[in-house]
Chains A and B, each alone.
Chain A
Amino acid sequence: MDQDGVIVFKGWNLKGGLDLEGHKDLSRQYSINNTAIPDELIYPLVDRSGNVLTALAKTGERVLKGQVIAGSKGVQGTLLHAASSGLVKENEWRMIAHPSGLKSECLIVATDGLDECCPIDEPVDYRQLSAADICEKVHQAGIVGLGGASFPTAIKITPNNVHTIDTLIINGAECEPYITCDDRLMQQYPSEILLGIQVLLRALAIKNCVIGIEEDMPEAIEAIQKAIECSGFNQIQVKVVPAVYPAGGERQLIYLLTGRETPSQGFPVDIGVVCQNVGTVMAVYQAIVKGQVLIERVVTVTGTGINKPQNMWARIGTPIKDLVSQCGGYNGPNERLIMGGLMMGFSLPDDSVGITKATNCILVATSKEVTKSSEAEIQPCIRCGECASVCPVNLLPQQIYWYSQGGAHQKCQSFGLFDCIECGCCDVVCPSHIPLVQYFRASKSKVFLKRREDEAATLAKQRFERRDTRQVQEKVAREQRIRVKKLALVKRQKESVSSSAKMQDKP
Chain B
Amino acid sequence: MLWICLLFAILGVILGYAAFRFKVEGDPLVVDIEALLPQTQCGQCGFPGCKPYAEAIAQGKADINQCPPGGEVGVKALADLLGLDAKPLNESFGIEKEKKVAVIVEADCIGCTLCIQACPVDAILGAAKYMHTVIASECTGCDLCVEPCPVDCIVMTAIKPSVLNWQWPKPIPNRH
CA distance A50 to B4 in the complex (A): 53
Within 8 A of B (CB), among A420-442: 434-435, 438-439, 441-442
With both chains docked as a complex, state the minimum distance between the C-beta of A144 and any C-beta of chain B, in angstroms: 18
Q: Would B121 and A100 count as touching, CB distance under 8 A?
A: no
Q: Would A463 and B168 count as touching, CB distance under 8 A?
A: no
Q: Would A467 and B120 count as touching, CB distance under 8 A?
A: yes
**B50, B137, B140 pick with most chain A CB within 10 angstroms:** B140
Interface size class of A (residues with CB under 8 A): 35 or more
Task: Determine whether B28 belongs to the interface, using a CB cutoff of 8 Å to chain A.
Answer: no
Q: Would B174 and A378 count as touching, CB distance under 8 A?
A: yes
CA distance A50 to B162 in the complex (A): 10
- Complex interface: stretch among B34-42, B58-66, B81-89, B150-158: B34-42
A465 contact set on B, CB distance < 8 A: 51
B41 contact set on A, CB distance < 8 A: 460, 464
Closest to B142 in A: A460
A/B pair count, beta carbons within 8 Å: 97
In the complex with contacts A441-B168, A460-B121, A378-B173 CB distance below 8 A: yes
In the complex with contacts A457-B39, A463-B121, A463-B138, A102-B161 CB distance below 8 A: yes
- Complex interface: stretch among A166-174, A200-208, A312-320, A443-451: A443-451
With both chains docked as a complex, state the minimum distance between the C-beta of A420 and any C-beta of chain B, in angstroms: 13
- Complex interface: stretch among B7-15, B90-98, B107-115, B126-134: B7-15
Task: Determine whether A260 belongs to the interface, using a CB cutoff of 8 Å to chain B.
Answer: no
Task: Determine whether A484 belongs to the interface, using a CB cutoff of 8 Å to chain B.
Answer: yes
Task: Determine whether A262 belongs to the interface, using a CB cutoff of 8 Å to chain B.
Answer: no
**B8, B19, B167, B169 pick with most chain A CB within 10 angstroms:** B167
In the complex with contacts A460-B138, A464-B39, A442-B162 CB distance below 8 A: no
B166 contact set on A, CB distance < 8 A: 98, 100, 102, 445
A405 contact set on B, CB distance < 8 A: 170, 173
**B8, B120, B166, B176 pick with most chain A CB within 10 angstroms:** B166
B167 contact set on A, CB distance < 8 A: 442, 445-446, 449
Task: Determine whether A396 belongs to the interface, using a CB cutoff of 8 Å to chain B.
Answer: no
In the complex with contacts A378-B173, A435-B171, A46-B138 CB distance below 8 A: no
Task: Determine whether B123 belongs to the interface, using a CB cutoff of 8 Å to chain A.
Answer: yes
Residues of A within 8 A of B (CB): 46, 50, 52, 96, 98-100, 102, 104, 377-380, 404-405, 434-435, 438-439, 441-442, 444-446, 449, 453, 456-461, 463-469, 473, 476-477, 480-481, 484
Residues of B within 8 A of A (CB): 4, 7-8, 11-12, 15, 19, 34, 38-41, 49-51, 120-123, 137-138, 140, 161-164, 166-171, 173-176
Complex A-B, nearest 10 residue pairs according to Cβ-Cβ distance, in ascending order: A445-B167, A441-B168, A457-B39, A100-B166, A463-B121, A460-B39, A442-B170, A442-B168, A435-B171, A445-B168
